[in-house]
Chains A and B, each alone.
Chain A
Amino acid sequence: AQSVTQLGSHVSVSEGALVLLRCNYSSSVPPYLFWYVQYPNQGLQLLLKYTSAATLVKGINGFEAEFKKSETSFHLTKPSAHMSDAAEYFCAVSEASGAGSYQLTFGKGTKLSVIP
């Protein structure tokens, strides 16, 4: 079974500062990785996904993530934080669970606070 570790359950950054949310995965096969965001009182929204086409993946709202196989990492970054980025972010890996089924395995999530 694959696993995902998100370092830091809470991260605070100042408005305009770099956002860096960490995600490490454990997988015996090439992984397919996702970042989702959950804004207050909303569902999970896909930010971006890694599908092996390119190691640097650009997503919505100015976020991007870089797949580094040697470090088994898929960290999420944004050059300049906005107040609207305050949310909870989830890293996930897609895996086959057998019998033709696929499921997402999530990290514990990182809550991002943006300080004015």
Chain B
Amino acid sequence: EAGVTQFPSHSVIEKGQTVTLRCDPISGHDNLYWYRRVMGKEIKFLLHFVKESKQDESGMPNNRFLAERTGGTYSTLKVQPAELEDSGVYFCASSQGATLLETQYFGPGTRLLVL
């Protein structure tokens, strides 16, 4: 069974440009999460999809970030325009259910560097 995959693995862009990150969850997982780790800080929650619906986007930093999950399969996270402070590692995770006990399976992350 394929795990969570993310594309690209690395991205280097200039301030003001747009970047789109993609996440493919484990097949059959309705729940998809985005997290971010800024250098030296904790991994922090960004948002949670259940199928194609945003269940919770309370962790999104600001309106420069737009997440979508059309059709309830893969998800994209767009940053437009990118700022220096957006640099970090963006993780995607998926789970079958959504409970306190549920294991979230993580992808390898996308390392974003904004210059």
Instruction: List A contacts of B93 (CB < 8 A).
Output: 44
Min CB distance B65 to A, Å, is: 16
Find out whether the CB atom of A101 lies under 8 angstroms from the CB atom of B48.
yes
| Interface-located stretch among A10-18, A76-84, A104-112 | A104-112
Label chain A's interface by main secondary structure: strand
Tell me, in angstroms, the Cα distance from A30 to B104 when the chains sit together. Answer: 19
Find out whether the CB atom of B100 lies under 8 angstroms from the CB atom of A103.
no
Give the interface of B toward A (CB within 8 A).
3-4, 33, 35, 40-45, 48, 50, 55-56, 58-59, 91, 93, 98-109
Contact A36-B41, Cβ < 8 Å, known A96-B100, A102-B48, A103-B59: no
Tell me, in angstroms, the Cα distance from A90 to B42 when the chains sit together. Answer: 9
Tell me, in angstroms, the Cα distance from A109 to B3 when the chains sit together. Answer: 23
Query: Tally of A-B residue pairs with Cβ under 8 A?
Result: 70
Find out whether the CB atom of A49 lies under 8 angstroms from the CB atom of B48.
no
Q: Is A98 at the interface (CB under 8 A from chain B)?
A: yes
Tell me, in angstroms, the Cα distance from A34 to B93 when the chains sit together. Answer: 14
Label chain B's interface by main secondary structure: loop
Instruction: List B contacts of A95 (CB < 8 A).
Output: 100
Contact A41-B108, Cβ < 8 Å, known A100-B55, A102-B102: yes
Min CB distance A77 to B, Å, is: 21
Tell me, in angstroms, the Cα distance from A49 to B100 when the chains sit together. Answer: 11
Tell me, in angstroms, the Cα distance from A72 to B71 when the chains sit together. Answer: 42
What is the total number of residues of chain A having a CB less than 8 Å from a CB of chain B? 29
Tell me, in angstroms, the Cα distance from A44 to B50 when the chains sit together. Answer: 21
In the complex, residue of chain A having the shortest beta-carbon distance to the beta carbon of B58: A97
In the complex, residue of chain A having the shortest beta-carbon distance to the beta carbon of B48: A101
Tell me, in angstroms, the Cα distance from A12 to B24 when the chains sit together. Answer: 35
Q: Is A43 at the interface (CB under 8 A from chain B)?
A: yes
**Most A C-beta atoms less than 10 A away, residue of B3, B93, B98, B100:** B100
Find out whether the CB atom of B48 lies under 8 angstroms from the CB atom of A103.
yes
Find out whether the CB atom of B56 lies under 8 angstroms from the CB atom of A98.
yes
Instruction: List A contacts of B40 (CB < 8 A).
Output: 108
Q: Is A56 at the interface (CB under 8 A from chain B)?
A: no
